[in-house]
Each structure stands twice: as C-alpha cells, then as structure tokens.
Chains A and B, each alone.
Chain A
Amino acid sequence: MKIMSSVLILGATSDIAQAIAIKFAQEGYNLMLAGRDLSYLKRIHQDLKLRYDIIIQSYYFDAENYKEHDDFLQQIHEIPDIVILCFGYLGNQLLAEQDWLEAYRIIAANYVGAVSILNRIANLMETKRHGVIIGISSVAGDRGRRSNYIYGSAKAGLTAYLSGLRSRLYPYGVQVITVKPGYVKTRMTEGLNLPKMLASSPEKAARKIYKGMIKKRNIIYIKGIWMIIMTFIRCIPEGLFKRIKL
C-alpha cells in the first residue's frame, strides 16, 4: 500500500512542511505540494525531484481564499491518502490587539482556512472510507495566554475542530492527528531566542509526525516536555492564571 500512497501537503513552503516532504519522500510516498508562493514551490519541487525517485505535483493553494478551495480540490484528480495541513500564521499579538486586519489574518489563516479545506477533504475521505488527516496545531491552543491569545485562540479552535473531526471520522477508518509542535526552529520563530530544552528542528518534527502516524497516535507532541508543561499550565486555576504574565 505504502508504495502507491500519496501525501498532500497544504502550505508546502513552510520549514516544517519541507522537512515533512523530505521524510515522506524518503519513505517512498508520492507528493502533492500546495502553496501560495509558486516560485518557491517550484524550487522545492525541483529539489525533491532530483533527490527522490517519486511522483511530485505542485498546485497553487491559498488557505485564506476559501472560495477557491473547491476549484483547488477539483484540480487534484484523486483524493490523496494523507493530507497534512501545515499552513499557519503567527502574526503579531500586540499589532493584532489594535489592528483588526492583523487579528483577522491570524484567525483566517490558522482557523477559518483550515476548516474550509478540511471540511471538504473530510467529506471525500468519509465517502472513500480511507485516509489520514494530519493537522499542525500548536501548544499555544492549549490555553489562552496574554502573550499570544489571538494566535492561541485560532489554534485552540483548530485543535477542537480536529478533535471533533477525529471522532466523526473514526467509524469510517479515517485517522485524524493533531500535532502540537511547541518551539520549532523555523521561519516563524527566527526572531525569538528559543530555549534549547524546548526547541526542536523541523527534521525532528517530521520524524515524530511520521512515526506518530504509523503508530496511529491521536495527538503528537514533538517534544515530550511540552506535554508536561502544557498540562501544568492547564491546571493553574483561572483566578491565579490571570495574574501571571505568561
């Protein structure tokens, strides 16, 4: 089964997405790359083609342009076995508090766009009674913190969505996985000084995601320590939590 399997990567130009593409290519999967920056996508496509003997296709895809999601799926003739949702937008919390456009972009990219495309894919997979959906959410969605609650709330929405979707598709044999990466050294976190203990590389994230999929995990934390940290943070009573600068 594995040899013929195909993976659709939504938001294929992100660093995690590129690492995931390499991991799945190494495992012999055919790739479908979807993203907005076509010239970057072309370079990634060409690089993978030279490295691996697999079939690769590239598509234009804009997560925030929901109207075109139907057209996008029509371009893809056959629904892939695995769909990995990698797009996301961290944005700027302080700016988003003042500027609705920034706030909207964060919600649109991380949540609305994800629901729009996954709804359609879920229906197709349900009919086929086959498939895997992997959504990259965030530990930020585990509790709204004052430092990034707009991004966090969008990711919380995504996490809740994936959780419900998992339950809905379970009887149909469709696997839904929620990935909570924590800090990964990517473009998103380049400006931040990441503590070594908490940060991982995109390559490690890709390995963990692949392994988690094979082991049929529901929720994947890239670094175990994040599960402990977030469980702890979730346990803090709200009365105390609101006083903590986190």
Chain B
Amino acid sequence: MKTYLSNWGNFPRIETDMHYFRREKELQQFIELPHFIARGNGRCYGDSSLSTHTLSTLRYNKAISFDTEKGIFECEAGMLLDDVLRIIVPRGWFLPVSPGTKYITVGGAVASNIHGKNHHIDGTFCRHVIDMDVFTADGHVYTCSPHQHTDLFHATCGGMGLTGVILRVKFILKRIETSYIDHTQIKARDLFEILDLFEAYQHRTYTMAWIDCLKQGKQFGRSIMMMGEPASLEQLNKHQISSALSIHSPRHISFPINMPSFFLNPFTMKAFNQMFYWKNIKKHLHTIVHYDPFFYPLDKILYWNKGYGKKGFIQYQFVLPIENSKKGLIDILKRINQYGTGSFLAVLKLFGKDESYFSFPMQGYTLALDFPVKKELFPFLDKLDRIVLDYGGRLYLTKDARMKPETFWKSYTTADLWYKMMIKYNKEFKFRSAQSDRLEITSPSKHENHVIRTYTGSHI
C-alpha cells in the first residue's frame, strides 16, 4: 500500500510502501523486496526510518519476560517504552536510560542507541542490553550480545537499522524506590554560568538544561538547569506516598492542527522563551515531581510537532568534544542568534565518556534545537555543520534529515570500522533508508570515495 510518510519532524515526506509483520515466520517474504528499512514509532526526526519500502515493527510488540528480582526485562522490538513503563514501574523498576519521549519503541532505542539525562553516569541505552535478536539480510535470525556475534551486536547498537530488523531485546533495569524524582532547578543568567553549573553538578544522576538561544547581549545563553535524583520514600508527601510507585496517566491534550507557518517568527519565539524563563521566578527551585513531567514534558501534548506547521522542522543536535565545547558553543550560539528563528527552546546537556563502537555521544556538550523548515535554513545549517566539524564534533543521525555525506564520514570517526561489520549482515544493501542513501552508506560505488582520515579543521 503506497502512502506518504514522514517522521516526527514532518520533513522529508516520501512515498512508501508500508509493510507490517506479527510473526517471525512472516519476515522471510520481505527478503524478496528490493530493499527496505525497519521503522518503530517514527519518532526519529528526519529520514532514518523512511524508505520506498518501510517495515513497521509496531505489531511485533509483545512483552516476553520480566525478572522482578533481578530487574531484567525482555520484549519484542515494537514495544513502546510507554508500555514497558506500565509494567515495570509498579514493581519498583525504571528504564536504565530514557529519552525525552516515552513514545519510542525498544527496537528504536537500540537502533539509535539513545541517550538520556543520565548519560554522564549510565551511558547509552545499549550499555544495558544483555542480548538481542536481529533478522539479517541472509534471512537468518541471530542472537547477539557483547559475548556472542559481537560484531553484529556492536554494529546494531546505534546502527540505524542497517544491520537488519531488531526483533527482541533483553535489557537491565534500574531499581527505584518511588516513581518520583527529587527535582532541582537553577536559573543561570548566561552561558558561562550554565557551563559552570554542569561542571559543579556532574555527580547528579539526571541533568540537562533549557537554553534560550535567541537572547543576545548580557544574558547570552541564559538557561534553566534541571537536575534530578530518584526520590526515596521519606521524601514524598502524604499524597504522593499513597501512590509511591504510580505510573504515568494516559491523559494528554492533542495539538489540533498544523500551525500556520507565519505564526513562527522571531517575535513570537522570543516572547515564548521569555515567558518560559520568567515562569520560574526563584533562582533555585526544589520539588518532588512524578517521573512523567520530569522525563516526558512534551508527551503531554500529542502531536506537538504540528506546532511547526505543515512544512515541518529540523531538529539540529550536535555534540562537541569537551576541550572545544565552550569555544564552539559560543561560536555556534552566536550564529543561531543572528539567524533569528531558532527554536522555542533548546536543550543543552553534558555527555560523559562513551564507549559505544558507533554512536553519537562523546564526552562534551550537546545542544539540540528546532528550526522550522524554510529555504534559508539549509545553507545556514550547512554552515553550522562545517563549524561543528571544525571543532571535532558531530550530528545525531536520529535527528538528521539533511546532512551531507562528507560531514557524516568525517565526523563519525569509527564509521569505516562500523561499515565493515555492518555490510557483513546487510548483503546487497537489503536494509536501506533514505538517510543511508543520502549519506552514501548504502550506495556502493560512492562509499569508496569517503576515505576516512583524522580530520583536522581549519577553524581551530
């Protein structure tokens, strides 16, 4: 069935044939397709899970086992984190790593090797994976782990579905005493203060900051630092104690229409940011909040992506190595400032060291921000890419919809190694996405041109 499909950023939109499967034995027929890519809940922003043939995992979504003593959970790849939480939270467990939305699949979490507010402590999602099953281009299902079919395991973690279809994942959970978070919020008046705060609070479990990218002058880079620790029973008030391990409520509001794009102009965006900053009157704020508003504030508004209008938006997320972070952030923020229509809010976070073979995070600062799609945006982002590259940073594939292949091959320093492991399982490029084609990963002739060498930028 031909339909038009886009991911969360509503850009790009491509024509695709949607396929579903419910049983492992149904998978064989997809090998007959010229090529395809697996897709979870479509919460990546760009074209990572789009292709002319798209295989949805959403109907392959059963829970398989849950060891409530050891905290080990096993499920099929199409299961949403939302559903995982409903099962594990009442029994005193939580996700080891959680992104900013619970509406992603477990398979997607592995394919993107997602990070969360606790990256500096707990690393990425795949660090907690015990083993998983992957359906590869030879028509076999392999069980892989850090000890078994290790090449497949490492190439699948953060591998954007290019090693095959992830079918089953077993992972370790995190013990919680309550489903509440001991939440501290500190206002930072400028960029320097927020960077100092990140340094000072490195030992905190969950950290991130909202940063106002549009503010110029003295308050350049003003932010709100958010920190959290799992709350203990003693910290809860009477009302909370009666629901100490409560799950999130299913209630939400829905963004009704695509916002007309003229609504998004520098003025409205600045006003929004101002309100968000002022909303927190005190410099320090300390509360006990449920995990739902803490981890997933935007999940309350279903289809918030419509707020960026029909043309969609690009979420631009980059990371800079720690030694260049300060300089690089100032440089990039200034340019975004000049560009004018940055996002409502941008998210800043300090990553810790990362030992994944092929993944986005590296020790340093990462900034994520949204830009509504328009003509001027693309040349501007190309310029930003060059600066990110010069500082030795890279872009998050899960959010990318427009990066040039050179940028990818230069910035992902282990791409060549990963490529060699990946093609072993992706014979004849059976697994291909619009993104992997664009980045010339799955266009055989072109890949050879990207000779990998240590790239030293001219910028620094």
Q: What is the interface of chain A, defined by CB distance below 8 A to chain B?
A: 15, 37, 39-40, 43-44, 46-47, 50-51, 187, 190-193
Contact = CB atoms under 8 A, between A and B. Distances in A.
A187 B26 CA distance: 12
B63 A50 contact: yes
Main secondary structure of the interface of A (DSSP, over half): helix
Given A15-B59, A40-B23, A50-B87, A190 B1 contact: yes
A18 to B, nearest CB: 9
Given A40-B23, A187-B22, A193 B63 contact: no
Nearest to B88: A50
Contacts of A40: 22-23
A193 B18 CA distance: 11
B62 A44 contact: yes
Contact of B62 (A37, A47, A187, A191): A47
Contact of B20 (A37, A50, A51, A187): A187
B66 A50 contact: yes
Q: Which 6 A-B pairs have the closest CB atoms?
A: A47-B62, A50-B63, A47-B63, A43-B62, A50-B66, A50-B87
Nearest to A43: B62
A51 B86 contact: yes
Nearest to A194: B1
B283 interface: no
A97 B268 CA distance: 62
Given A15-B59, A51-B63, 16 more contacts: A37-B23, A40-B22, A40-B23, A43-B76, A44-B62, A46-B62, A46-B64, A47-B63, A47-B64, A50-B65, A50-B66, A187-B20, A190-B1, A192-B1, A193-B1, A193-B2
Contacts of A46: 62-65
22 contacts: A37-B23, A39-B23, A40-B22, A40-B23, A44-B62, A46-B62, A46-B64, A47-B62, A47-B63, A50-B63, A50-B65, A50-B87, A51-B63, A51-B83, A51-B86, A51-B87, A187-B20, A190-B1, A190-B18, A190-B20, A192-B1, A193-B3
Contacts of B1: 190-193
Interface in B21-52: 22-23
A44 B22 CA distance: 11
Contacts of B22: 40, 187
Most buried by B among A37, A44, A46, A47: A47
A44 to B, nearest CB: 7
Contacts of B87: 50-51
Contacts of A50: 63, 65-66, 87
Q: Identify the interface centre among A15, A37, A190, A191: most chain B CB within 10 Å of its CB.
A: A190
A43 B64 CA distance: 7
B117 to A, nearest CB: 27
Contacts of B62: 43-44, 46-47
Contacts of A43: 62, 64, 76
Interface in B366-399: none
Nearest to B24: A39
B213 to A, nearest CB: 36
B158 to A, nearest CB: 27
Interface string B126-143: 000000000000000000
A44 B64 CA distance: 9
Contacts of A37: 23
Contacts of B64: 43, 46-47
Contacts of B63: 46-47, 50-51
A84 to B, nearest CB: 20
A43 B74 CA distance: 12
Nearest to B64: A46
Nearest to A193: B1
A37 B87 CA distance: 26
A50 B291 CA distance: 22
Contacts of B23: 37, 39-40
Contacts of A51: 63, 83, 86-87
Interface string B286-311: 00000000000000000000000000
A51 B63 CA distance: 8
Contacts of B2: 193
A217 B172 CA distance: 46
Nearest to A39: B23
Contacts of B86: 51
A39 B64 CA distance: 13
A53 to B, nearest CB: 9
Interface string B170-198: 00000000000000000000000000000
A39 B25 CA distance: 11
Contacts of A190: 1, 18, 20
B23 to A, nearest CB: 6
B170 to A, nearest CB: 14
Nearest to A50: B63
B199 to A, nearest CB: 42
Nearest to A40: B23
A60 to B, nearest CB: 17
A191 B66 CA distance: 35
Interface string B5-24: 00000000000001010110
A46 B74 CA distance: 12
A50 B74 CA distance: 11
